[in-house]
Each structure stands twice: as C-alpha cells, then as structure tokens.
Amino acid sequence: MKLELGKIYIKDVQFADRTYVENGTLYVCKEEIEKIVLEDERLTKATVELARPGEPVRISPVKDVIEPRVKVEGPGGIFPGVINKVQQVGEGRTHALVGSTVITCGKIVGFQEGVIDMSGPTAKYTPFSETYNVCVVIEPADGLETHDYEAAGRMAGLKVATYIGEAGRNVTPDEIVTYETKPLLEQIAQYPDLPKIGYVHMLQSQGLLHDTYYYGVDAKKFIPTIMYPTEIMDGAIVSGNCVAPCDKVTTYHHLNNPVIEDLYKRHGKDLNFVGVILTNENVFLADKERHSDMVAKLAKYLGLDGLLITEEGYGNPDTDLMMNCKKVTQAGVKVVIITDEFPGRDGKSYSLADAVPEADTMVSCGQGNLIVHFPPMDKLIGTMDYVESQIGGYAGCMNADGSFDAELQIIIASTIANGFNKLAARTY
C-alpha cells in the first residue's frame, strides 16, 4: 500500500471571510466554523480563537488536537467511519496542512484535560506551542451527560479539521513524501537481509471517557489486528479519551506518529518495517491475557525479529504493556518499550505500576510528577475554573495573578507523550 503525503507548510493563521490557503498562510472563516459546530444541538455555543507561537496565550482545558488533512486521490476519505463512510484508507494521496491544528477546548468533560502555553517556560513541554492553532471553545447544553459531551466535542473537532483540510485540496504541496508497505511476502522478499521490525500500537480503551476509535469503532470492541501504517495517516484512528494530558495520544499524534515516521525513514536502510500490530488496553485480567496472547501470536506469525511497543496512559495499562513485552519476548522476538514514568513528587515510588524481567530494553520519555510553575498570560482561551481539580493540579495551586503550580502531567501532549520517542527506533 502506497501513500503520498503532500505537506503544505503553514506559517501563519488569520481570520477571513472564507477558508483558504495562500502563500503559507491559513485563512479561516470564523462564522463558518461556528456554524459547523452548532449543527450539533448538544452544543449551545462555539467561539473560535487563534493562537500563534510566541504569543502570551494559555489554552485550557484542552480536549483534542487535530491536524487538518484531506484525501485528494485514492479510496475512502479522511477519518473513515467517523466523518466519511467506512472504507479502507492509506493509499493514494493525502494533503496535510503541516504546522496548523484544530484544538477543541472549553468547559471540562472529565478531570483529565490539559493546558497549552504558547510562550514562556512551560511552552517547551508541548509541541503545540509551535503550531498555528485554530481553537474551538465549546459549551454544552445544560445537563448534558458527560459521555454525550465528549462525543459532541470529539465530533466538533473532527468536523472542523475536515472543513479546514479541504482548503488544501487544490494547493500544490511544498513537499511530497511517499510511504509504502507492501503485502507481507513481497515486503520480506524486498529486503531479505534486513531485520524485520514491527510496531505494537496500544490504544487507550478502558471506558469511562478513556476511549479510542478505529474506523469509527470503539477500540474495546475489537481484538488485536494488523494495520498498514499508512492507514493511520489517513485518520483510521482518532482520539476520544480524557486520559492524563501529558501522555494523551491526541488525534494529531495518531496522524503524525513519530515511531511510524522513524521506522519509515530507516526502512530499506538498516531495517525492514513490516507493519503495525494494533491492540487495546483492557480493564479485566482475562482480557489482558487474551489480547497479549494474540499480540505475541501475530508477532511470531509475521516472522518479526523485533518490535517497538508504546502505551497510552499509565497505571493499569502498564500491565498490558508488560504482558505484551513478556509474551512477545518469549515468542522469540526482541522488544523495545517506549514509556513514561510516574515516580511521585519525591521520586521514591515505582516509576511503573508493573514490571517483568523481559522488559530489559526501555526508552523513558520522562516523568510526569515534576512540579513546574506556569506564569500568568495576557490572554486565556477557554477557562481556568478547573485547574485545581485537573490531574496534576491540586487545591491551592492557583495564584491571584493567574499563575499556578502543577505537575508536568497537566500539560497536553508534553514531552512525555511526545516521546513516542525517536530514540527507540535507533535500538536495532
């Protein structure tokens, strides 16, 4: 399967009377975006604001981040099973407005929603301080149940990103990058002397607002499967969870998964990137056992020499991570784990909730319990009403001037989640 990704580099974002791209600037129609959002009667208000790198702006609480993309050639459409009809994607050509995002924020859904600072000392912890962000602040109808609010917010972000992505349909890309994964036997025959490497992508799927969607289906409802990496670039996986902000895999991260990017860069040089094993993170022990058995079986069936494994979240999912590592290793496949750490504010707790002897090669993406100071900002997009109850915050952490102190994990997609880290891909 071959996908051409046309990258259109965005260097500024401005309001205009229509949405289009010209000379590297994304122009967006505020009224059109608000109209799209308010088509959902579960939402009663939508406000669109812009946030650019270096501005004294804080965005909170953030629900999801999405890169605008549009399918211009090949089967299916962006976000299949959610925005477009269910059809396999991952081949043809897709255009991406690189450097721009759609960020959904507003009244809190759950306590695990985060903060983005566009400047100051905490901006370095999030990649979205360096992007040109179209922020959609939403407000739910009175009495709306939290799961309905999450669904409405999720759909609002995806619809707006799809609408903005259309602006890149007829734009000549600044760069075209081609990604290709052949059917298994062809793939192996192409580079028979290189180690066959796969990637286990663990999706948050524990319910209670901890959900991810695969072709529109809640990840709790499927068993481990094999994917072409390019399917993910076309939006086959979207975020729908309120997991801890620091290691939340936003929809943006699925579209731009750096493990996949790095493996493709080395494909045909010093490794043969065979594909992705997709699995979920379960609640019940029997499901954890069942699914980790299947992951190991698929790794062995594919004849892999090595696997990279990432997880989303921490605590309970650490058991899924370790079961996958143990069983894949016992199946004769080398494993590198990419994970974060939560050793407590004093650093004396176990960094992971579970461990196995087979987990002997790991890459740490950082720890989330470090307390950092968030200085006051000139502008707030969203609300700060919930900071003390958000994960990473605590009673009394807010100051009268708008500054606050909180654990690093309150930052959306901090370097912890960002460390779908490139170091691990260098292990083989």
**Residues involved in catalysis:** 242
Rounded distance between C-alpha atoms, residue 406 and residue 403, angstroms: 10
For residue 338, the cross-strand partners are 310, 363
Rounded distance between C-alpha atoms, residue 415 and residue 413, angstroms: 7
Q: Provide the 3-class DSSP secondary structure of residue 225.
A: strand
- Measured between alpha carbons, how far is residue 282 from residues 247, 287, 313, 329 in Å? 17, 6, 12, 20
The sheet that has 362-367: what strands, in order across it? 225-227, 272-281, 196-204, 306-310, 334-341, 362-367
State the alpha helices, DSSP H only, in 371-420.
Answer: 415-418
The residues, ordered by sequence, that sit 6+ positions from 330 with a Cβ below 8 Å of its Cβ are 296, 358
Rounded distance between C-alpha atoms, residue 238 and residue 158, angstroms: 9
Residues in the chain: 428
Could you tell me where the beta strands, DSSP code E, fall in 262-367?
Answer: 272-281, 306-310, 334-341, 362-367
Rounded distance between C-alpha atoms, residue 200 and residue 299, angstroms: 9
118 touches 59 (CB < 8 A)? yes
Q: In the chain, how long is the greatest CA-to-CA distance? A: 65
DSSP state of 219: G
> Can you say whether the dihedral through the CA atoms of 225, 310, 325, 210 is positive or negative?
negative
Rounded distance between C-alpha atoms, residue 126 and residue 410, angstroms: 11
Helix (H) or strand (E) holding 252: helix 251-255
Q: Which two tokens stand for residue 361?
A: 């090669």
> Can you say whether the dihedral through the CA atoms of 309, 314, 320, 322 is positive or negative?
positive
The residues, ordered by sequence, that sit 6+ positions from 418 with a Cβ below 8 Å of its Cβ are 126, 127, 253, 258, 365
